[in-house]
Amino acid sequence: MVNSCIPVLDMQGISGQLDKVVKALWRWGCFRLFDHGIPSTLMSDMKAVSLSLFDLPLEIKKRNVYPQRLMGYIPRNTINSFYEALGVYDMLTPEAVDQFCDKLDASPHQREIMHEYSEAIDALVQELGRKIMEGSGRSHPKFLY
């Protein structure tokens, strides 16, 4: 029987599973990662910040616009009343997070959580990128350092 579940990988033991990482990416294009080192409190705080931003008045959410990139606030509509989105262009840069927060009048606490989460995600992505390159037998690209 063919395995039809998205692979689940442990970040703490990923060095011993590099072949699984590469196979998961070739077959599925993704995998689920656990024990990744991002504290559950930070993830909960980020979720709370995200939800609070969606509670802002429509006039404020509409400030989240990036015309040159065709992204930003997407309101609920008659076609899809369950989908609403805010866009952060390049969340991994502090300047982009600040720009997003400025547009939405985010509180100092919200801004702090977003920066902390952004830094944690950036570190995880860098480490994961190195492991994927290692598992693929490729040299590490300089942008990951």
Q: Is the pTM of this model over 0.85?
A: no
3-state helix, strand, coil in the chain (%, to 5): 55, 10, 35
- What is residue 91's predicted lDDT score, i.e. its pLDDT? 86
Strand pairing report for 32-34 and 8-10? parallel
pLDDT tier at 8, thresholds 50, 70, 90? very high
The strand pairing partners of 66, in sequence order, are 71
Rounded-to-integer distance, Cα 130 and Cα 145, Å: 9
Q: What is the pLDDT of residues 79-119, one digit of tens each?
A: 888 899 998 888 889 999 999 999 999 999 999 999 999 99
